[in-house]
Amino acid sequence: MSRLVYINGEMVPSEQATVSVFDHGLLYGDGVFEGLRSYSGKVFRLQQHVRRLYESAHAISLTIPMSPAEMCAATNHAVAANGIQDGYIRTIVTRGAGTLGLDPNRCSDPKVIIIADSIALYPEELYEKGLEIVTTSVIRNHPAALSPRIKSLNYLNNILAKLEGLKAGCVEALMLNHKGEVAECTGDNIFLVRDGTLLTPPLDAGILGGVTREAVVEIAGRAGIEVLKVALTKHDIYVANECFLTGTAAEVIPVVKLDDRSIGLGKPGPITLDLKAQFHELTRS
């Protein structure tokens, strides 16, 4: 099905949506992106996603050729132009076309691309029964090398971890940081429930500050559930009462096994299910 893709102010049929082979986004992964969700035609937490996009761009000295307000308007336009109700939006900003050398100063005309399409979720069965995941040997990027808080077009770190998880028969995999602490999964943040308290790694564990993650923290706070952002190890997951992941596409999904070890009772727990239901209500009310 053909879609209309936003490229630098124009809506272009998807089969005609192209960028230069000299674009440094293609050559070097030099650019940033955001993944967003729409529910009933409305983009969920659009301003938070756009804020993070601009922060990522600023961190790599990439000037986005439009204001945040214009970016929000363009995103809404792309969703409406494609008639998207419940869908997924990918916003991309590349460095633009340059030379075959690394020098970003030789690039011109950064590209802003917005793709609005249908959403591919995990199978419903996994939300009911829970995920089984493994710990990958691929550690999260060292924050002094490439900050995981920058949502860059270079996702090879995550892809290598994803490949290892898939080879083990798991659709997600847990990544540790350079200190051996729990960071996040290849595309999702992680939460534990221990004695009624919610635990999740802090930003300095080398994670992306997920928008869905923060929404769940807010929901938990309103429900009177204490949330601690603390350093965690695999042991903490093994002995947790419950575990779940959060992400734009995943929303809230239970985890029932890590490294073939059952977590809690080996099935989605009550706090996980309650937070999942409350997030569903938040996004669809």
Residue 273 is predicted with a pLDDT of 98
Please write the tens of the pLDDT for every residue from 125-165: 999 999 999 999 999 999 999 999 999 999 999 999 999 99
pLDDT digits (tens, 9 = 90+) for 54-103: 999 999 999 999 999 999 999 999 999 999 999 999 999 999 999 999 99
Q: What is the pLDDT of residues 20-44, one digit of tens each?
A: 999 999 999 999 999 999 999 999 9
For the chain, what is the mean pLDDT? 96
Residues 222 and 258 in one domain: yes
Assess contact for 94 and 17: CB atoms under 8 A. Answer: no
Residue 234 reports pLDDT greater than 80 = yes
256 and 179 in a single domain? The answer is yes
Burial degree of 195 (CB within 10 A; 0-12, 13-18, 19+): exposed
The Cα 87–Cα 81 span in angstroms is: 13
Is it the case that residue 120 has pLDDT exceeding 80?
Answer: no
Whether residue 143 sits in one domain with residue 66: no
How far apart, in whole angstroms, are the C-alpha atoms of residue 197 and residue 284? Answer: 26
Residue 50 has which token pair?
A: 């756009």
Show the domain range for 141.
124-284
CATH number of the domain to which 51 belongs: 3.30.470.10
Same domain, 89 and 228: no
| CA distances in angstroms from 219 to 85, 126, 216, 279, listed in the order given | 24, 22, 5, 7
My answer on whether 219 and 264 are in the same domain is yes
Which domain-ending residue is among 118, 141, 172? Answer: 118
User: Which of 184, 46, 56, 167 minimizes the C-alpha distance to 116?
Assistant: 46
Distances from the Cα of 190 to the Cαs of 16, 46, 76, 116, 249, in angstroms?
A: 38, 22, 29, 26, 14
Considering the candidates 111, 151, 162, 276, report the single residue annotated as catalytic: 151
pLDDT of 215 strictly over 80 = yes
Amino acid residing at 153: L
Same domain, 191 and 271: yes
**Cα(276)–Cα(285) distance, integer angstroms:** 14
User: With contact defined as beta carbons under 8 Å apart, do 114 and 78 qualify?
Assistant: yes
**Domain's final residue, options 118, 138, 171:** 118
Residues 135 and 268 in one domain: yes
pLDDT band at 259 (very low <50, low <70, confident <90, very high): very high
Q: Is 257 a catalytic residue?
A: no
Total domains present in the chain: 2
Percentage, residues of the chain above pLDDT 90: 96
Q: Are residues 129 and 266 in the same domain?
A: yes
CATH number at residue 178: 3.20.10.10
- Whether 285 shows a pLDDT value over 90: the answer reads no
Q: Check pLDDT > 90 for residue 121.
A: no
Nearest of 236, 248, 262, 240 to residue 130 by alpha carbon: 262
157 and 191 inside one domain: yes
Specify whether 33 is located in the same domain as 168. Answer: no
With a cut of 80, say whether residue 177 has pLDDT above it. Answer: yes
Q: Are residues 151 and 73 in the same domain?
A: no
- What number is the average pLDDT over the span 173-195? 98
Q: Are residues 156 and 272 located together in one domain of the fold?
A: yes
Tokens of 256: 């029932």
Q: Which of 96, 118, 140 is the last residue of a domain?
A: 118
**Amino acid residing at 160:** L
Percent of the chain with pLDDT over 70: 100
